[in-house]
């Protein structure tokens, strides 16, 4: 424990780097591999759902559904909490039961399906029930995708530079989520909110192809 005395293991001492350059070069060699890049592309494409949650859902609820800003904030907070708890409870059992590759396939397929439902039905919404249901399931699916991705990121990380590489791998999805959020306005101007849902579905479909090409193993534990 942090407050007790102890000593580092021999393995830890042998892997400890005393300079920055070996860490930088080690991270670069371990990260810039074809399969690793393909998986980063896959996860980055799936971040379209996160961009919807960040930048689009709030304006959709106010402009199209007539919500007050306070109503959306309360709903989004409750849905985010529930979705996060659901992801925490479901992620590990899903990987153990179905394997990591199958769990990722399921998450990406759900992204595709939810985007299609939103895109095909949004012009005909007469109330906010479909939006609320989609938002809740989309948020949970987004969190599950990130959790599953972290499992594979740990597998991809070289033990010699694992901390630095794992941090870099996790930064990539966040960068893509911010990129999509910043450019979502162009999609809305071009095709309205329906186009945003369909864009999420299309991005996830491309991401699913990238997952297949990345050859994610069907591990059945989160080791």
Token readout for 219 is 């591990």
State mean pLDDT over 42-64.
Answer: 90
pLDDT attached to residue 220: 59
Backbone angles phi, psi at 221, to 5 degrees: -150, 160
Predicted pLDDT at 5: 80
Quick: pLDDT tens for 117-169: 999 998 888 888 999 999 999 999 999 999 999 999 999 988 888 888 999 99
pTM of the entire predicted model? 0.85
Percentage, residues of the chain above pLDDT 70: 95
In whole angstroms, give the CA distance from residue 107 to residue 125: 25
Tokens of 188: 């809305």
Average pLDDT score over the chain: 88
Residue 104 sits at the vertex; the CA angle it makes with 37 and 34, to the nearest 5 degrees, is: 15
């Amino acid at each position: 424990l942090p407050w007790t005395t102890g000593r580092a293991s021999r393995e830890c001492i042998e892997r400890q780097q005393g300079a920055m350059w070996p860490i930088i070069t080690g991270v670069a060699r371990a990260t810039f591999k074809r399969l690793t890049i393909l998986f980063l592309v896959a996860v980055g494409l799936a971040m379209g759902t996160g961009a919807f949650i960040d930048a689009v859902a709030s304006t959709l609820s106010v402009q199209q559904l007539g919500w007050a800003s306070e109503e959306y904030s309360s709903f989004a907070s409750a849905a985010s909490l529930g979705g996060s708890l659901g992801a925490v409870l479901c992620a590990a059992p899903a990987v153990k039961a179905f394997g990591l590759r199958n769990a990722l396939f399921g998450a990406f397929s759900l992204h595709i399906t939810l985007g299609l439902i939103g895109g095909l039905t949004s012009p005909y919404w007469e109330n906010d029930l479909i939006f609320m249901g989609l938002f809740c399931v989309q948020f949970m699916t987004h969190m599950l995708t990130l959790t599953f991705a972290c499992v594979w990121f740990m597998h991809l990380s070289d033990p010699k530079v694992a901390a630095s590489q794992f941090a870099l791998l996790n930064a990539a999805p966040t960068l893509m989520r911010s990129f999509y959020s910043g450019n979502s306005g162009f999609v809305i101007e071009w095709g309205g909110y329906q186009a945003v849902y369909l864009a999420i579905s299309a991005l996830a479909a491309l991401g699913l192809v990238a997952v297949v090409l990345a050859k994610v193993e069907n591990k059945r534990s989160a080791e």
